[in-house]
Amino acid sequence: MKSTNNDVSRQRELVRAPSSALLRPEVDEVVRRGLEDIAVASEAKHFFSLGITAWNSHRYTEAVDLFQRCIACDSFHADAHFYLGLCYYRGVGVPASDSVQAAKCWRKAAEQGHAQAQNNLGRVCEETGGDRYAEAISWYAKAAEQGCLLAQFNLGVLYELGRGVSQDYEMAAAWYRKAADRGYAVAQYNLGGMFRLGRGVRQNYSEAAAWYRKAAEQGLAAAQYNLGALCTLGQGMSRDLAQAAIWFRRAAALGDELAQEALETLTGQGALEG
């Protein structure tokens, strides 16, 4: 659309605006600092992106350098702190594994609400043991409430064992279920055990078998063995020694010694051929 004479007039008026309409010096400084912050954030993002590329390519020494450069630009970059913590914990890209330094990195990310860092910091606290169990519970809870699957499982374990908190099977089963419903095999296995033993839930062998099966189908040897045991006993399902042997063989192939012993027992009793 062509400009009208009025449009031109307004444009000229803007050009001729008095100096009082210009930005004041202190506002100019705010704008300048804002632009600098944008530049620094962009540089931090660039270093982090390069760091992730190096991490995914297993060039860990390079990744550590890039994550540190990112943090030098932006000391509050939670993801950079998280990955740098992983490097220290696993001992990759650094001289040796250092859980203390890893915890420092994860704490900086965790305090900003980074769920994975909260879970990992909780794990370091749990590994330390003693009076650190309570802190582990606190960090796991923060991460679990954000939907971190591993934190939900880890919280269930501490409630079941009564570490850092009063032993509470109901809470343990509830947290196991949250992780189990999302497909985490070990949580499914542990939940199966809760139903088998009637801990925190009403004892139900059918439920136990169902959860063991979910974990067993994901290749968890302990679940395969326990499912075979339920088949042998006829708990939660019809007694079926042939089916039990199938699960025992799968578990034995993964190195489960109890499954191997169970197979030998069935064979020795003449329940199986060969």
For each of the chain's 274 residues, which pLDDT tens digit applies? 454 555 544 444 444 444 444 555 555 655 555 545 555 568 899 999 999 999 999 999 999 999 999 999 999 999 999 999 999 999 999 999 999 999 999 999 999 999 999 999 999 999 999 889 999 999 999 999 999 999 999 999 999 999 999 999 999 999 999 999 999 999 999 999 999 999 999 999 999 999 999 999 999 999 999 999 999 999 999 999 999 999 999 999 999 999 999 999 988 776 555 4
The pLDDT of residue 268 is 78
The pLDDT of residue 97 is 96
Tell me the C-alpha distance between 121 and 100, whole Å. Answer: 10
* Residues 194 and 200 sit within 8 Å (Cβ to Cβ): yes
Which residues have a Cβ under 8 Å from the Cβ of 45 and sit 6 or more positions away?
Answer: 70
Tell me the C-alpha distance between 205 and 213, whole Å. Answer: 12
Tell me the C-alpha distance between 219 and 235, whole Å. Answer: 21
Helix (H, G, I), strand (E, B) or coil at 234: coil
Longest dimension (CA), the chain: 105
